[in-house]
Amino acid sequence: CECDFKICAECFGDAVKNAGALCPGCKEPYKATEMEDLVGGGADGGARPTLSLPPPPGGAPASRMERRLSIVRSQKAMTRSQTGDWDHNRWLFETKGTYGYGNAIWPKENDADNGNGGSGGGLGGTDGQPAEFTSKPWRPLTRKLKIPAGILSPYRLLVLIRLAVLGLFLTWRIKHKNEDAMWLWGMSVVCELWFGFSWILDQLPKLCPVNRATDLAVLKDKFETPTPSNPNGRSDLPGLDIYVSTADPEKEPPLTTANTILSILAADYPVEKLSCYVSDDGGALLTFEAMAEAASFANMWVPFCRKHGIEPRNPESYFSLKRDPYKNKVRSDFVKDRRRIKREYDEFKVRINGLPDSIRRRSDAYHAREEIKAMKRQREAALDDAVETVKIAKATWMADGTHWPGTWIQPSAEHTRGDHAGIIQVMLKPPSDDPLYGGDGEEGRPLDFTDIDIRLPMLVYVSREKRPGYDHNKKAGAMNALVRSSAVMSNGPFILNLDCDHYVYNSQAFREGMCFMMDRGGDRIAYVQFPQRFEGIDPSDRYANHNTVFFDVNMRALDGLMGPVYVGTGCLFRRVALYGFDPPRSTEHGGCCSCCFPKKRAWQILMMRR
């Protein structure tokens, strides 16, 4: 199959026998040519079974097509950010109605509420489907959308004019030597040449930026719709491991980390396929207990988000939204539920903020007890000797009355930041495979979660071992430790990493990322990166903290070339890509190659299957 999903020869043989078999990778029917090649090239040659494959689903009726595309509606209301401030990013790009496809940027309110995505989808206008969409015999999960020539051509022209001016200037500079100050002249020529060269390097990728759109409805169709082999319509999406790194509970408040975790646990992705790993490089009990609190609050927060389609699913941001929370909410008990959750969240905050104190008090109490014990023991052991003052290290104690293996508040040997044991603790155990519905609001349960799945994804706390004399490589080291530890626990084929101060703004984002990975030819993609958006920046953004040029111009432009650079966070990886294999072949992007050399390609596939 074109997606190169590897299956063993026998399974493929079976698939060939069953007419209409789908490739388990991209859920597309196998193409007849591949099968003929396989059978023809097989050891026994000869007998070719006649195959009756279903016709390619290219000519789907227009009404279905329309349903799959959501249409960008009024742009005016969207130019205000969630804090109510003027949003330059969006104004700059969305006024054309063509910007922002398939990215995690502020999901449209209507989509967020009806929950079934298409959030990235949409066409610049209402006119028909894009050519990329209709020309393919299969239904693509993603589309590449060209930037309209009206926007790009003037920009290219400007680049050309500047290039010409630059050329003229440099010739003038070189031709007009300054005899009085040759050194100065030489140096400025070298510098100007260098600046010119680096400017060209900077401009070239920008000549062909791309936008991408995902189609969440197709993803749902392919992976989550009941089929004969999957009558319950259980999700077939791949496992996803989310890594959150935190290093220091003083600089990175545990409340922020807890909010990040909550936004991940509440994301719209099959619960049994999602696992969340927190890496704590500080090895702090404070972070550990904050995560435990978050896990317990999630029992309420996550079903609440599912029930009412909350966006964003980070409680701190949600409760500080300036817009009307009751808009587009249909369920009559929303007001009551929201009020209740708000109160619970406030109590949760108080608990988290009280943790440092409670840990200290607890440790003091245990320490006093230990000291008395030690004193007694000493008195019994050496009645006559001169009694020395007992001195024991002041440990940090866990709630169950044992020493915390990580960093202690008062550092002592083997309990400092750079020297402590490894800790791994499952905070939420892996959920059952089938949905577990909550009960009504009675029996002590605060909210009515009838028909709402109340399962939570797995949550694991990891603090890697650290010893003096080793280079722990900061965040990269933490990521490595998580790659290894998650490999023996959930081993999700995809990995997404986030810093503790970043959260998932759009609950559909994981699905959107997966569209790229599961699309035909997606096996050649090592990672998909989300742009970063920032909150709490001053309204006029005088220091350009939104970093718009970087995320929305440079990175998109590089995407049109060979792919953007990795920026360190918010990145969805294919796990095997991190395992150090050779990159996949660089030729063959489908298109012309595959139609010119069908034979060769079929053979290649065949070889790999063997």
CB of 478 vs ligand UPG, minimal distance in Å: 4
Q: Is the previous residue joined to 312 through a cis bond, with omega within 30 degrees of 0? A: yes
Pairing status of strand 458-463 against strand 494-499: unpaired
CB of 464 vs ligand UPG, minimal distance in Å: 10
Q: Which is nearer to ligand UPG, 2 or 281 (CB)?
A: 281
Taking alpha carbons only, the member of 307, 271, 267, 332 closest to residue 107 is 267
CB of 465 vs ligand UPG, minimal distance in Å: 14
| C-alpha to C-alpha distance for 38 and 10, rounded to whole angstroms | 11
Q: Which is nearer to ligand UPG, 352 or 500 (CB)?
A: 500
Residue 245 contact, options ligand UPG, Mn ion, none, Cβ 5-8 Å cut-off depending on partner type: ligand UPG
Residue 251 contact, options ligand UPG, Mn ion, none, Cβ 5-8 Å cut-off depending on partner type: none
- Calculate the alpha carbon distances from 75 to 125, 510, 519 in Å: 12, 25, 30
Q: Would the annotation count 475 as a binding residue? A: yes
517 contact partners, CB below 8 Å, separation of at least 6: 238, 494, 525, 528, 572, 574
Q: Which is nearer to ligand UPG, 7 or 423 (CB)?
A: 423
CB of 570 vs Mn ion, minimal distance in Å: 12
Residue 302 contact, options Mn ion, ligand UPG, none, Cβ 5-8 Å cut-off depending on partner type: none
Q: Which is nearer to ligand UPG, 164 or 476 (CB)?
A: 476
How many Cα neighbours within 13 Å face the side chain of 346?
Answer: 7
CB of 569 vs ligand UPG, minimal distance in Å: 3
Q: Is 445 exposed, middle or buried (0-12, 13-18, 19+ CB in 10 A)?
A: middle
Residue 316 contact, options Mn ion, ligand UPG, none, Cβ 5-8 Å cut-off depending on partner type: none
Residue 475 contact, options ligand UPG, Mn ion, none, Cβ 5-8 Å cut-off depending on partner type: ligand UPG
Residue pair 459/276 in contact (Cβ under 8 Å)? The answer is yes
Site residues for ligand UPG per CB under 6 A:
245-247, 252, 279, 281, 474-475, 478, 499-500, 568-569
Residue 600 contact, options Mn ion, ligand UPG, none, Cβ 5-8 Å cut-off depending on partner type: none
462 contact partners, CB below 8 Å, separation of at least 6: 277, 278, 279, 280, 422, 423, 424, 481, 482, 485
Residue 500 contact, options Mn ion, ligand UPG, none, Cβ 5-8 Å cut-off depending on partner type: ligand UPG
Q: Would the annotation count 342 as a binding residue? A: no
CB of 437 vs ligand UPG, minimal distance in Å: 36
Q: Would the annotation count 316 as a binding residue? A: no
Residue 428 contact, options Mn ion, ligand UPG, none, Cβ 5-8 Å cut-off depending on partner type: none
Question: CA 532, 538, 539, 540: dihedral to nearest 10 degrees?
Answer: -100
Residue 87 contact, options Mn ion, ligand UPG, none, Cβ 5-8 Å cut-off depending on partner type: none
Strand order in the sheet with 527-529: 423-428, 458-463, 274-280, 240-246, 494-499, 571-574, 527-529
Q: Which is nearer to ligand UPG, 54 or 536 (CB)?
A: 536
Residue pair 486/277 in contact (Cβ under 8 Å)? The answer is yes
| C-alpha to C-alpha distance for 16 and 73, rounded to whole angstroms | 45
CB of 500 vs Mn ion, minimal distance in Å: 8
Pairing status of strand 142-146 against strand 571-574: unpaired
Q: Which is nearer to ligand UPG, 252 or 519 (CB)?
A: 252
Residue pair 266/301 in contact (Cβ under 8 Å)? The answer is yes
CB of 349 vs ligand UPG, minimal distance in Å: 21
DSSP 549: I
Taking alpha carbons only, the member of 143, 141, 118, 122 closest to residue 131 is 143
Degrees to nearest 5, angle at CA 385 with 381 and 389: 80
Residue showing the smallest CB distance to ligand UPG in the complex: 568
Q: Would the annotation count 376 as a binding residue? A: no
Q: Which is nearer to ligand UPG, 285 or 500 (CB)?
A: 500
Site residues for Mn ion per CB under 5 A:
499
CB of 558 vs Mn ion, minimal distance in Å: 22
Residue showing the smallest CB distance to Mn ion in the complex: 499
Q: Which is nearer to ligand UPG, 241 or 453 (CB)?
A: 241
Q: Which is nearer to Mn ion, 120 or 253 (CB)?
A: 253
- Calculate the alpha carbon distances from 563 to 205, 257, 528, 529 in Å: 10, 30, 9, 10
Binding-site entries for Mn(2+) = 475, 499
Binding-site entries for UDP-alpha-D-glucose = 245, 251-252, 281, 474
Binding-site entries = 245, 251-252, 281, 474-475, 499
